[in-house]
C-alpha cells in the first residue's frame, strides 16, 4: 500500500481522487493540501511514497512545489496531474524535477500503475505523445558549446565585435553563430533570444 500526498486546490477533486485510490486497494491518501506551500509543511511532518500534485494552483503551483522539494534535497517522487495538455507546462515539469506528468482524464488503473512506477524509482512517466513532443522540442533547440558560449555573452550585452574579440573569432563568424542561435530558439532578435535563454535555462 502506497502512502500518497495529494495536492489540489479543488476540494471535490481531492475527494474524488482520494476515493478512487482507496477503491484500488493499492494506494491511500494520507494527507491533502490545497497548494504547494501547504504540501511542503505536510510532507515534512509526514513523508510519503509519492506526491500527486495539480500544476496550476494559487499561492504555490505544482512546479514551484517540485522546485522547492528538489532544492531542499527531498527526492520524494512527484506525479503531476493536470487538465492542461500544454507542452510548456510539461517542459517546465521536467526541468523542475517531476517524475511524471498525466492528464486528469487518465484511467484509475493507469494512475495507480504510474504512482507505483515512480515510487519504485522510474525516472519519468508521461503519455507517449507528450514525451515525443518534448524530445522533438528539446532536440530542436540544442545548442553547441560555442553557441552556448556566444549566448552567454549576448546575455552579458556584448556586441558581435566584442564577442569576436573575447573568443578570438572573426566578426562574420560570430554573426553566423548569432543567426543560428536565433533560428534554433525561434527568436526574431537578440533581445528575445536573451529573454528566452534566461527563462528556458540555457545559460
The pLDDT, as a whole number, for residue 188 is 81
| Residue 97, pLDDT score | 86
Written as nine digits, the cell of 109 is 488503473
Walk along the chain (203 residues) and give the pLDDT tens digit of each residue: 999 999 999 999 999 999 999 999 999 999 999 999 999 999 999 999 999 999 989 999 999 999 999 999 999 999 998 877 666 777 778 778 888 888 888 889 989 998 998 898 866 666 555 555 555 555 556 788 898 899 889 888 889 999 999 999 999 999 999 998 888 887 888 888 887 777 666 65
The CATH number given to 141-200 is: 1.10.10.10
Q: Give residue 144's pLDDT.
A: 84
The beta strand positions in 34-163, using DSSP E, are: 50-53, 78-82, 100-103, 125-126
CA distance 184 to 142: 8
pLDDT score, position 139: 52
Q: Which residues on adjacent β-strands are paired with residue 32?
A: 6
For residue 124, what pLDDT is reported? 61
* Half-sphere exposure in the Cβ direction for 146 (13 Å, CA): 11
pLDDT confidence of residue 85: 67
Query: Is the separation of the CB atoms in 130 and 89 below 8 Å?
Result: no
pLDDT for residue 195: 78
178: nearest Cα among 201, 146, 203: 146
Place domain 2-138 in its CATH homologous superfamily. Response regulator (3.40.50.2300)
CATH 3.40.50.2300 domain extents, the chain: 2-138
In the chain, residues under CATH classification 1.10.10.10 are 141-200
Amino acid at each position: 500500500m502506497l502512502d500518497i500526498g495529494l495536492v489540489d486546490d479543488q476540494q471535490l477533486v481531492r475527494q474524488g481522487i482520494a476515493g478512487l485510490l482507496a477503491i484500488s486497494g493499492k494506494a491511500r491518501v494520507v494527507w491533502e493540501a490545497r497548494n504547494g506551500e501547504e504540501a511542503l509543511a505536510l510532507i515534512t511532518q509526514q513523508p510519503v511514497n509519492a506526491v500527486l500534485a495539480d500544476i496550476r494552483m494559487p499561492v504555490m503551483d505544482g512546479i514551484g512545489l517540485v522546485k522547492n522539494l528538489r532544492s531542499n534535497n527531498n527526492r520524494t517522487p512527484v506525479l503531476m496531474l493536470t487538465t492542461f495538455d500544454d507542452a510548456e507546462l510539461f517542459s517546465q515539469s521536467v526541468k523542475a524535477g517531476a517524475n511524471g506528468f498525466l492528464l486528469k482524464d487518465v484511467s484509475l488503473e493507469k494512475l495507480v500503475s504510474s504512482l507505483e512506477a515512480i515510487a519504485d524509482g522510474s525516472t519519468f512517466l508521461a503519455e507517449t505523445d507528450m514525451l515525443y513532443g518534448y524530445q522533438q522540442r528539446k532536440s530542436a533547440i540544442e545548442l553547441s558549446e560555442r553557441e552556448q558560449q556566444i549566448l552567454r555573452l549576448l546575455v552579458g550585452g556584448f556586441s558581435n565585435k566584442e564577442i569576436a574579440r573575447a573568443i578570438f573569432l572573426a566578426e562574420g563568424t560570430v554573426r553566423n553563430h548569432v543567426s543560428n542561435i536565433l533560428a534554433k530558439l525561434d527568436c526574431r532578435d537578440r533581445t528575445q533570444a536573451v529573454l528566452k535563454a534566461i527563462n528556458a535555462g540555457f545559460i
